[in-house]
Amino acid sequence: MKIATAAYPLDVLTSWAQYEDKLNRWVGEAAGQGAELLVFPEYGAMELATLAGAEVAGDLEASLFAVSERLAQADQVHLRLAAEYGVHIVAASGPAATQTRPVNRARLITPTGQIGVQDKQIMTRFEAEVWDVIPGNGLQVFDTVLGRIGILICYDSEFPLLGRALSTCDVICVPSVTETLAGYWRVRIGSMARALENQCITVMSSVVGDADWSEALGDSFGAGGVFAPPDRGFPETGVLAAGTINAAGWTYAQVDLGQVAEVRADGIVLNRRDWLGQIGRDQPAQAVRLR
C-alpha cells in the first residue's frame, strides 16, 4: 500500500467551511497520489479553537474545551472523506473532554464508517504540568483491511514497552508536534527504534510552522517520515521516506507488508522474537569496582 504522512501547518480559521475545504484539499491530494493510509499530526486539531475567536484560541484552558466541542463534527468530515476516497485516515489528534480532565485523542477513521480511538499514554511535561492533560484509554490494535495498525502519539513513541504492546501491528502511526529540532529528532529516533524492535513500519507526522495565536503550540519543527527495520528487502538506513524539515505537505512511501512478514520470520536479525531473551537479564546491573 501507499502511505501519506503529513507535515501540516495550522491555520487561523474564520469559518467551518474553510476547515472543510482545507481537509478536502489535503485528503484529495493524497488520495490522488494513490495513498491508502493518511496520517495527520498530534494536536493538529488545535486550529479548531480559532473558530471560537482569538481570545479563546490563545487561552490555554479555554482552547482545550473549544476543540473538544468540535471533534465529533470534525470526525464527520473525516468519515465523509474516507468514504469518498476509499482511504483510512488517522485524524489529527486533539483534546477530548472526559469526566475529569481532557485527554489527547487521535482517531483512525475507515472508509466503511468505523472510528478507532487512541489516547496518548504518557504526557510531556507541558501537558502534565501546565495544560493538565491526562492519560486516556489503553493501547489499541486496530485490525483493518490494510493490516494491523497501532498509534503511539508523539512522546509515547519514545518508550519501548509501549511499542512492545503493539508488537502485533504491521504499521505504527506516530502523530507528533515538537517545538524544536531536538524534539523532532527524539520522536524520529523513537519511531525508528520501534520499527527496529518490532520489525514493522512506523509513520511519523508533524505539525509545522508558526501558530503564534496559541500559547500551547507556537513554532513547530518537523517533517513526515516512514521508517522500517534496516533488514532484508528494506533500505539499509531503515528510512523509506523522509520529508524536508518544515516543508508543508505530504511525504509518501510505498510499503509492502509482505516484507514485514518476511523479516519477522527470517530476517538477518530477529529483534521481535528475541525480545523475550531480555527477560531475566533485565535486572539492575551489578556494580563492579574497577578503580
How many other β-carbons are positioned within 10 Å of the β-carbon of residue 198? 26
Q: What is the pLDDT of residues 264-286, one digit of tens each?
A: 999 999 999 999 999 999 999 99
User: Average of pLDDT values for 78-84?
Assistant: 98
What pLDDT was estimated at residue 206? 98
What domain range is 205 assigned to? Answer: 2-278
Q: Determine, yes or no, domain membership for 148.
A: yes
**Interatomic CA distance for residues 246 and 208, integer angstroms:** 5
What pLDDT was estimated at residue 127? 97
**Interatomic CA distance for residues 44 and 70, integer angstroms:** 13
User: Does residue 123 contact residue 134 with C-beta atoms inside 8 Å?
Assistant: yes
What is the enclosing helix (H) or strand (E) of 204?
Answer: strand 201-211
Q: What is the pLDDT of residues 174-221, one digit of tens each?
A: 999 999 999 999 999 999 999 999 999 999 999 999 999 998 898 999
Q: Determine, yes or no, domain membership for 285.
A: no
What pLDDT was estimated at residue 218? 86
Q: Determine, yes or no, domain membership for 289.
A: no
Taking the CA atoms of 16, 22, 23 and 24 in sequence, report the sign of the dihedral they define. positive
Q: What is the β-pairing status of strands 37-39 and 249-254?
A: unpaired
User: Does residue 287 contact residue 258 with C-beta atoms inside 8 Å?
Assistant: no
Q: Determine, yes or no, domain membership for 286.
A: no
User: Average of pLDDT values for 104-125?
Assistant: 98
User: Does residue 89 contact residue 80 with C-beta atoms inside 8 Å?
Assistant: no
Q: Determine, yes or no, domain membership for 290.
A: no
pTM of the predicted model, to two decimals? 0.97
What is the percent of the chain with per-residue pLDDT over 70, rounded to a whole number?
A: 100
User: Average of pLDDT values for 122-146?
Assistant: 97
Residue located via cell numbers 477530548:
96
CA 134 to chain centroid, in Å, comes to: 17
* Res. 64: pLDDT tops 90: yes
List, in sequence order, every residue forming a beta bridge with 89; answer none if it has no partner.
Answer: 38, 109
Whole-angstrom Cα Rg for the chain:
19
**Interatomic CA distance for residues 217 and 60, integer angstroms:** 10
User: Does residue 276 contact residue 247 with C-beta atoms inside 8 Å?
Assistant: no
User: Does residue 227 contact residue 195 with C-beta atoms inside 8 Å?
Assistant: yes
Residue type, 151: I
* Res. 156: pLDDT tops 90: yes
Q: What is the pLDDT of residues 235-246, one digit of tens each?
A: 999 999 999 999
Q: Determine, yes or no, domain membership for 288.
A: no
Q: How many domains does the chain have?
A: 1
- CATH number of the domain within which 86 lies: 3.60.110.10
Q: Determine, yes or no, domain membership for 213.
A: yes
User: Average of pLDDT values for 50-68?
Assistant: 97
When the pLDDT of each residue in the chain is averaged and rounded to a whole number, the result is 97
User: Average of pLDDT values for 140-156?
Assistant: 98
Strand, coil or helix: 51: helix
Task: Sort 151 into a burial class: Cβ within 10 Å, 0-12 / 13-18 / 19+.
Answer: buried
